[in-house]
A and B are shown apart, each in its own frame.
Chain A
């Protein structure tokens, strides 16, 4: 079946790195995504990775994909208070639907 899991909360100090983890079940997923949701807003696409890639870096964001373990992570370097939000990973299923995880609430404290 299609299922995406994330831990619910992560708390980090400003300036530290944050690592948000995600596991998925659909081995045929072609794309995996990270979205950010700020309070009262919709979801904003941060980055995505092809399933045949291991890593993708985009400024402060690094995505790592372990396809064997079906594990995806998002690393945010030099985390800022403005990064506080809910982060969703999502997989594109073999039926072309995007299946979202439960979201990880990142709290950054000074």
Chain B
């Protein structure tokens, strides 16, 4: 069974640009969550999608958005990039909420110059 796949793995952008990251969950998993990981702040929850609906949201500005498609694949978008957005963006999928087990992808490392 394939794991969670995130693309691209690495990318470099400049301030003011926007970026879209993609996540394909494990087959059969309907929930997708996104986290931002930085050395200073650790893992911060961005949002969770289930059946194409945002089910939960963290404390990030509106520049961070996401969506989920009917095949459970998810994308997140960051507009008007800032230097502080440089981070590892992790996607995690889960089957349901009963145990809350999350299966993580390897992440997309974004560098903003």
Please give the residue numbers on chain A whose beta carbons come within 8 Å of chain B beta carbons, in ascending order. Answer: 30-31, 33, 35, 40-45, 48, 88, 92, 95-103
Contacts and interface: CB of A to CB of B under 8 A. Distances in A.
Q: Decide if the interface of chain B is mainly helix, strand, loop or mixed.
A: strand
Contacts of A95: 56
Interface of B: 4, 33, 35, 42-43, 45, 48, 55-56, 58, 90, 92, 97, 99-107
A96 B4 contact: no
A41 B106 contact: yes
Contacts of A101: 42
A42 B106 contact: yes
A31 B99 contact: yes
A40 B88 CA distance: 10
B99 A97 contact: no
A45 B103 CA distance: 7
Contact of B105 (A40, A42, A48, A99): A42
Given A31-B100, A42-B105, A98-B102, 4 more contacts: A35-B104, A43-B90, A48-B99, A102-B42
B106 A99 contact: no
